[in-house]
Structure 1
Amino acid sequence: MSSLNLKTIDRVGTISKKDFIQQYVKPQIPVVIERLTEDWPAYEKWHLNYIKEVAGEKIVPLYDDRPVRAEDGFNEAHAKMKMSDYIDLMEREPTNYRIFLYNLMKEVPAIQNDYKWPDIGLRLVKQMPMLFFGGENSKVFMHFDIDYSNILHFHFHGEKQCVIFPPDQTPFMYKIPHSLISREDIDFDHPDFEKFPALKQAQGYICNLKHGEMLYMPEGYWHYMKYLTPGFSMSLRSFPKNPKFLIKAAYNLLIMRHYDNYKRKTKGQAWIDEKNERAITETHKNLGIL
C-alpha cells in the first residue's frame, strides 16, 4: 500500500469518553481502540465456529466483487447458501464471497446479548446492528455511507485491513456521479496512477484490525476494506453533527438513490457506462488534469 499516500491510524488501548470526543470526534480524526470490547461476551464467543453453531442452518445472501450492472437489482445477492456451508468455504480456501449488511441478530436473537452499547460520548442509533462477513482476500469496494454517519466498526475473528479517506478528499477519488462509490476498476492495493493520476494527490489513512478491535470512522469517510483472513465485523453508527452532511444525507436518501434507480430503468447499461466515464472526465476537468 506504499504507493498510496496513507498515514497509520492512531491506536489506543482504552480511552476516556472526554478524550475520545476532544481528540478524535471533534476534529474528525480516525482512531483504533483496541480493548473496547474486552468486557463483551462477544469477545470470547464471536468466532466463526460459534456463528456456525448458532446460525449454521440460516440461508445467507452472498456478494462478490463483480462490477455493478444495470440489470442487477438494488443490493441483490449474487448467490445464496447455508451459513455453515459458507463458513466451511471460507475456512477451506480464499473466496470473493462476502455477506453484506446481514441482520443476523434478527435471525438469531440470542446473540443480541453478546455486545454492549459503548458509553463513549456518541449518541448511537439504537437499531439492531448488521454484520459483515468476508473470506480471505475478499474486498469491499471504496465507498462512503449514504447517511454520512460516524461509524464504530468492530472486527472479530482474524484480521482485516482498512483504507479510509476523509470526505474532503472526494475530488481525488473518481466518485461515480449519483452514487456512493469510486470507479470499481480502481485497484486500491496497487493503483494505476497513469489511468487514475488524481489518486496521487489523495491523503488517507490505513490500519489493520484484529479480533475485538474497533475503528472509529468519522462522518462521511470513504472506506475500502480487505479481509486478510476469514472474519466478520459489526458497525454501530451515530448520525452526523455537521449540518452540511445532514443535508447531503437527506439528499442521498430522498432524491439521489431514487433518481439513479429511475435512470437505470430507463437507460439501462448506458447509464452505468456514462457515469463511469464521467467519473474520470469530471475528476480530471475539475483538477486541471489533461
Structure 2
Amino acid sequence: MKKDKMKLKAIPRVKTISKEDFQREYVQKQKPVVIERLIEDWPAYEKWNLDYIKKIAGDKTVPLYDDRPISSKYKFNEPHTEMKMADYIDLLQSKPTNYRIFLYHLMKEVPDLQQDFKFPDIGLRFLKQLPMLFFGGEKSTVFMHYDIDYANILHFHFHGKKQCILFPPSESKHLYKVPHALISREDIDFNNPDYEKFPVLKKAKGYITELNHGETLYMPEGYWHQMTYLTAGFSMSLRATPRTLTNFSKAVYNLVFMRHFDNYMRKLRGQKWIDYKNEQALKRTHKKHDVSL
C-alpha cells in the first residue's frame, strides 16, 4: 500500500496515561492517541477473540455489509445480507472477505459479554449505553466518514491488526465531502489515492496507525476515520458526549434535520439524488480550490 502518498503522521502512542494527562494533552487539544495498555484489566483482553465469539454467539443471525457504493436500492444502514455468526467467523478465518458487521448490538443479544468490559475512568462523559461491535475480514475497508453525533470515541481492537486513517474536522475541505452526508466520495482509495481525479487530496493532512489486539484509539469529536482490516478481527467503541456547544449543535442538526432530509430526497429522487451529491462533492471541492479539470 502506498501510504506515503498522503500527508499522514503516525498517531502518538503511550503505554498508559493518567486521567489528567489524557485530558490535558489529547481531549482538550482534540488530538488522537493510541493507548496500548488501557484495558489490560478487562476480562475481554484475555478472552475476546474470534473463536470465543463463535463459541458464545455462534447461533445468532447477524447483519452483514460489503463495500458496494451507497445506492437507492438500500435504505440507510440496511444490511446487504445475513448469516449465522458461526458461519461468518468460519468465513473470516478461511479467506479474505468484504463482508463486515457494522454497529451490531451483540452485547444485547449475548448479555454475558457485558461482564467483560468496563467504562474507563479517563475523564470522558460516556454515554452509558451498551457499546456496539464491528467485525471485518482481511482487507475489508470502512469508507471515510465522521460520526453523526460528534462523539469523542474510544475504539478498542481485538484479534489481529487494523489500520486507521484519521483527519481532523479542519481537513473536511480537502476530503471531497459529500453534501447532506457524513462521508467523502466512496470511490477514493485513501491507501493509494488517484490524484488526477482528486487533486485536492494532496493538501489533506491526517494521521495513521495500526491497532493491535487490546489497544485503544482515542478519536476526538468530528474526526474523519477510515478503517482497513489488515487481518480478520473485531472492534468495540465507547462514546462520550461532545465537549462544546458548537459540536453538540452540529450533532443535533445531523440527527434532527440532515438525516431525515437526505432520506426524504433518496425516496423522492432515488439514484439521481445520490449521483447528484457525488457530482457536487467534486464540483464544490474543486471550486473552493480553483481546480479546473
Residue type at the aligned position of 2:81:
A
Distance 2:244 2:163 in 1: 28
Structure 1 residue 198 corresponds to structure 2 residue 200: yes
| CA deviation after TM superposition for structure 1 residue 116, in Å | 1.1
After TM superposition, list the pairs within 5 Å mapping 1:37-116 onto structure 2. Answer: 37-116=39-118
Moved over 6 A (4+): none
After TM superposition, list the pairs within 5 Å mapping 1:113-262 onto structure 2. Answer: 113-262=115-264
| CA deviation after TM superposition for structure 1 residue 259, in Å | 0.4
Distance 1:8 1:58 in 2: 38
Residue type at the aligned position of 1:132:
F
Secondary structure of the residue aligned to 1:2 is helix
| TM-score normalised by the chain length of structure 2 | 0.98
Give CA-to-partner distance per residue, 1:24-48, whole Å, 9 cap, x none: 0000010000001100000000000
Distance 1:88 1:256 in 2: 39
Residue type at the aligned position of 2:161:
E
Give CA-to-partner distance per residue, 1:180-231, whole Å, 9 cap, x none: 0000000111000110011100000000000000000001000000000000
| CA deviation after TM superposition for structure 1 residue 262, in Å | 0.6
Residue type at the aligned position of 2:18:
S
Distance 2:30 2:141 in 1: 25
Residue type at the aligned position of 2:191:
D
Distance 1:247 1:288 in 2: 31
Distance 1:240 1:123 in 2: 9
Residue type at the aligned position of 1:14:
T
| CA deviation after TM superposition for structure 1 residue 288, in Å | 1.7
| CA deviation after TM superposition for structure 1 residue 74, in Å | 1.6
Distance 1:106 1:180 in 2: 27
Q: Quick one: which of 15, 33, 36 aligns to 2:38? A: 36
Give CA-to-partner distance per residue, 1:62-105, whole Å, 9 cap, x none: 00000011121121111100000000000000000000000000
Structure 1 residue 267 corresponds to structure 2 residue 246: no
Q: Quick one: which of 3, 22, 25 aligns to 2:24? A: 22
The CA RMSD measured in Å over matched residues stands at 0.5
Question: Which runs of no fewer than 5 residues in structure 2 stay unpaired?
Answer: none
Identity %: 66
Distance 2:262 2:152 in 1: 25
| CA deviation after TM superposition for structure 1 residue 238, in Å | 0.7
Give CA-to-partner distance per residue, 1:113-165, whole Å, 9 cap, x none: 00011000111110000000000000000000001110000000000000000
Aligned to 2:8: 6
Distance 1:152 1:64 in 2: 24
| TM-score normalised by the chain length of structure 1 | 0.99
Residue type at the aligned position of 1:122:
L
Distance 1:36 1:88 in 2: 30
